[in-house]
A and B are shown apart, each in its own frame.
Chain A
């Protein structure tokens, strides 16, 4: 009886903390923090989902392509149906902090290049994505897989700070699977180069050669380590 009571108490305690964790981690919003004087990100959507940009100064906008704003700080984007979003264009917005990506199943363009994002990039299947660009940030790692983005024709991760060759190797390995997948009809440009980026090991080089020689992709990498 006492043991059962303790067990229930522990379970309740854990669930309580899990719920708090979920509330903090996934509130359904896309969060982004800017440090520049102006901000002009935009999305494109299919259909008519409810859109709400909430800027750091408390003002809001309901358009997919909002008017430029001049405030600095933490902003959010809410879309009533994230599946309706086809384009995420957050390039060159002086964004910083960690980027929390989502599944975005209908996105064809995912642009977050030329910002100051840090930490990890979480890759999702993004099966409709044609252009994925995270170049020119300060990302230090990649998680997830690049095997499933079979419509992708541009894949830019260059000029970040991914310093583990194992991550470059995994990307090349994933992309070989991607290149050979049923349903792929176009070639792809891949770039993982940059002064703070690692090169591949010999295993990554083998897969790079498969991408170029077998599938006719164009690949830019740092020299083999």
Chain B
């Protein structure tokens, strides 16, 4: 017959086990908090980076700087479209007093440059300065 383990030893083991599990859950909580902090920090960094890039590269937001950087013929088109906020090539042409086909070409150039967005509404093509790029 083997000697039964003394009771106090068993108690110590149980206590140790409980403490270990407590430590484990605490560590998990700390890890979770750290993850949350990291996520927040990464989010903030990304937001700051995007706002910085929007300052450096103002495409997507109409500004005097953009207008000044454009050649004369495209600036005229851009100003006319800005007045309309959103419009078709023929509407822009009535403001600039140039041919519709010419304005269509210039507007597509502005789309490629990322300053203007092209939107299709039913069968018609609209251009907008909002959210260009």
Partners in one complex: no
